[in-house]
Amino acid sequence: MTQETPKHGAQDDKVSFGYETVSPEEKTRRVGAVFSSVAKKYDIMNDAMSFGMHRAWKDRFVRRVKPQPGEAVLDMAGGTGDIAFRMADRGANVTVADINQDMLDVGAERAMEREAGPESGSLVFTHQNAEQVSFASNSFDAYTIVFGIRNVTYKDRALAEAFRVLRPGGRFFCMEFSTSEWAGFRDVYDLYSDLFLPRMGQAIAGDADSYRYLVESIRKFPSMPEFERMIAAAGFVNTRYEAILGGAVAIHSGWKV
């Protein structure tokens, strides 16, 4: 099945950056600035924001991916390496891709410092745009993207590229923040996000605005059923999603046949 990269016309010359509407070029620049600003404190902030729960979510995600020894995995928006290290420890050969060089630099530095086991697979770090990656079609057994696709300007292009670079039988897995369907929890979470996350960002990373944007980007992200439909539209089959905390976080998956 051949997938064409979706075309965007004049009607798409404005996109969302949080609650703002900006040009695609401006979004790319500003998202880059966000992650360059927080790169060195990114993992500390993840622990603080999620009360450490992101570690269990990532372990759960990798269990769903089931990376195998010798498999080729593309970890898009892999930045600081959290997901890649877990998959490499299972013997997979992981290509860590990110559009932000500062995030990649942090990941590469962490990779040099980690103690890899004798059965660990390889790790390669590469600068890539999810909307137009440089790899040949049918190159990877699995494609993963964790807490990254909501920052992509044209998500359909990224999904089309994920489909293209996967081999037939390859699997797509994405973990992203969404909107919890637990009404009481959602209200508390929204209050926490609005009032405390920017303050936490200021206190730990010295940057309240970047974390304010991250909250807004979560609110603008499609619902779980909507995003599942986008994955299917890219050509994937057997699509599904798994809600965590009522959907505050969701694991999406699909297969290329």
The H or E element that residue 16 is part of is strand 15-17
Amino acid 9: pLDDT:
47
- Give the pLDDT band (50/70/90) at residue 173: very high
Distance of CA 44 to the CA centre of its chain: 17
**Is the Cβ–Cβ distance between 58 and 132 less than 8 Å?**
no
Q: Is 178 exposed, middle or buried (0-12, 13-18, 19+ CB in 10 A)?
A: buried
Positive or negative CA dihedral for 56, 57, 59, 63? positive
Strand partners, 22: 15
Alpha carbon distance 190, 211 (integer Å): 14
Which pLDDT score, from 0 to 100, does residue 48 have? 77
The CATH architecture annotation of domain 14-255 reads 3-Layer(aba) Sandwich (3.40)
pLDDT band at 8; cut points 50, 70, 90: low
Instruction: Average the pLDDT over 164-187 and give the result.
Output: 93
How far apart (Å, rounded) are the C-alpha atoms in residues 111 and 62? 18
State how far the Cα of 131 lies from the Cα of 140, in Å rounded to an integer: 16
pLDDT digits (tens, 9 = 90+) for 89-142: 999 999 999 999 999 999 999 999 988 777 889 999 999 999 999 999 999 999
Calculate the alpha carbon distances from 200 to 41, 43, 76 in Å: 12, 13, 27
- Please state, rounded to an integer, the average pLDDT across all residues of the chain: 88
For 123-153, letters b (16+ CB in 10 Å) and e give bebeebbbbebebeeebbbbbbbbbbbbbbb
Q: Which of 97, 75, 76 is nearest to 86 (CA)?
A: 75
Distance CA 135, CA 153 (A): 20
Count of beta carbons in the 10 Å neighbourhood of residue 72: 20
Cβ contacts of 220 within 8 Å, gap of 6 or more? 16, 18, 19, 150
Query: In 10 A of CB 47, how many CB atoms?
Result: 13
- Locate the domains of the chain by residue range: 14-255
Q: What is the 3-state secondary structure (H, E, C) of 71-110?
A: CEEEEECCCCCHHHHHHHCCCCEEEEEECCHHHHHHHHHH
Model confidence, pTM: 0.85
* Per-residue model confidence (pLDDT) at position 191: 86
